[in-house]
Structure 1
Amino acid sequence: MTVIIERIFRLASGLIFTIILSKTLPVSIYGEYTYYLSIFSILSCVASFGLDDSIKRFYLSPEISNNYLTLAIIIKTTLSAILTIFCVFYISIVDNRSWLIFFPFFIFSGFSSFFLNLSLISNKLREVSLISLVYNILISLLKLFSLFNFGFEVFVYIQSLEWFLISIIFLKKFDVDFYNFNFSKNLLISLLKPSVPLFLSSLAIIGYYKIDQILITHFLGFESNAVYSLSSQFVISAGIIHGILINKSFKNIYSLKDDKLKLSALMRKYYSYSIIGVFFILLVVATVFPILFNYIWGEQYHLVPNLVLFGIVGLFFSGVGLLHTQKLIALELENYRMYRVFAGLICNIILNIIFIPILGIYGAILATVLSQLLSSVILNLFFKRTKDDFYEQIYSIFNFWRL
């Protein structure tokens, strides 16, 4: 129950701050804020370097887990520091607004998600979730107080540094032992080998939403990006709810990795669950969301409900793709995820460049959904090792009600 409450609170608090910021800030300022947030979110993904997922495999082996965990943290810290220093230096030259100069420290935010993701396969899930829940309640209250009493700039300062204390706490809870860390070249290679393809595919996935915002700002300006980023926040929130359940499937998938028939049956069942879950989300979005949204925002963001509805359609494919990723990680086939997702990203960028000037914001949504279909499902057909997975996905898409 603690785990569910923690995930719901994180999701709810994110939505609440989205509502408050979009209501209190001028549309152009909110669009600029989300534009830079997109850039630093991409850089945070770069600093994570796929380690959030690859560490799962090694953490399940207690005799070697500390070395891999320590090395992963060292790599993440080094990359985060390099990117943050570069961004602070660059921004201080081209735009010396204090909140913008401080914003790059958000790149370090990947540390808290790293430990939360790791807790899903550990025996510390409930304890970590409780700590995260209490911490997020306190930090949310602090951010609310700062926003209403000291203004937007102080809010950004706190948001950019909120990862710091919780990361230190998690370091203690996961018993990370830097003193007994034994580095070797083979250790580095064995950790980076699965991390590189996972990093590239994770970068491509975040690019589905964040690069869209950068391109919309380029073609249509900050105000259009404010509308699109607000709709994306609701779509991402729905995806987080969906993804929480999917990520918990890894243990079961991993346990059947050597039994092809049982694993295939399990994947068909999980795909069906995923599709049913999206139908439920779609039903809620189509019926309740427009009423609530128009009551809160009115005409200022009138395009958002339709954009969210179209964006949720992409969860049919991204959910199936995320489940397939759990299987690829368990079978040590991460490269295939990299191939398909990067192809999807390239497709997404090309379609955005074509569709945005013609269809405006709707063009970005259409590009995202089509590229998700390509990368999550269709491309599996073109690789020998994933062709059977394609047929599993298609069977589940058209037979999910038989579950």
Structure 2
Amino acid sequence: MNDKLQVLDLRRNKLNGTIPDAFPDNCGLKILALNKNQLEGGLPKSLANCSRLNVLDIGNNHVEGTFPFFLKNTSMLRVLVLRSNKFYGPITHPKLNAPWPMLQIVDLASNNFIGNLPIIILSSLMAMMDREHEVHSELAYLQITINGSTYEDTITVTNKGLEVELVKILTIFTTLDLSCNNFGGPIPEKIGELKALHSLNLSHNAFTGKIPSSLGKLSNLETLDLSCNELSSKIPVQLADGLIFLSVLNLSFNQLVGQIPFIKQFATFSESSFKGNDRLCGLPLKSHCTYEEPQLLPPTHDQKHWKYGIVIEWNYISVEFGFIFGIGIVIGPLVFWKRWRIWYYKHVDDILFKIFPRLYLRIEYRQRRRYRNQRQRHWS
């Protein structure tokens, strides 16, 4: 164990006992792979001397202890696999500040971790955030150069519900698997910033609250498993609208309610993706959304006046302005224009005579009779 040893791969053996606490100060390890053995005990503290570590894979053993915060100086760490061991406790630390900016594969599944997902850990996963410049560049693989030759590590990950062995690890492949633990509380909205994430598995935990709509921003996501939690509320439409590359979805056995947004990729998933949510309805489930949304009570007179008062007042004002304007068009010329006044009375009388000839004759007869009476009084 010296600075010349860069790769130690002892996977798939029958090694037992503990991992020796013998990593020297000048540790040059870049890959430590002990997956699928029978190792027990805790991770040795001297492993913190391996500051150039790229891959730490001790999955499928009997290793126990708390989360290895003492590895905070291994800033080049890209792969962390603690799957199927006996780790316990929270993964929060008051003095931890973005220790692993290059982490792209995190597998903590099947342990006994507890507590909320710490935002500081999510903020440190810079490699899982938006990396469009790497996506459009030439594909690269995680490899170690030893004496002029290259060593490309292999790793087994659980993706799309299956164990897949990655013979070569793409530097742009990102996965976060926290399944089968005892994490609780709400899923933080901050997780929506991991835009380069390809696979997210938070199943078989105790997460509560609603599914954050920010998950719809993970446009590169291919696998999303939130099954077997205590998530409630409706399925955000943003998930169906934004996850355009999603090929595996599992939201089963939660407490989700309402209608499934059956659009885009969500229209391709079967009933098994949503089963175990008794209050979900709509396709692809057999239960139809027949319930009616609770209707609000009719608004009171004061509420109507407060809501529509401005519109009603303007309606009245517009009618009054129209009435005054119409009268002004007719009366104004009669008052100020003599020629118009003569023409108006002449033609109005002709129109009235044609429409009401009898009325016109009665008026003329009464005027003549009144004129005769006045003359008789004058002579008498």
TM-score interval, smaller chain = under 0.3
Greater share of strand: 2
TM-score by length of 2: 0.22
Greater share of helix: 1
Structure exhibiting the larger radius of gyration computed from Cα positions: 2
TM-score by length of 1: 0.21
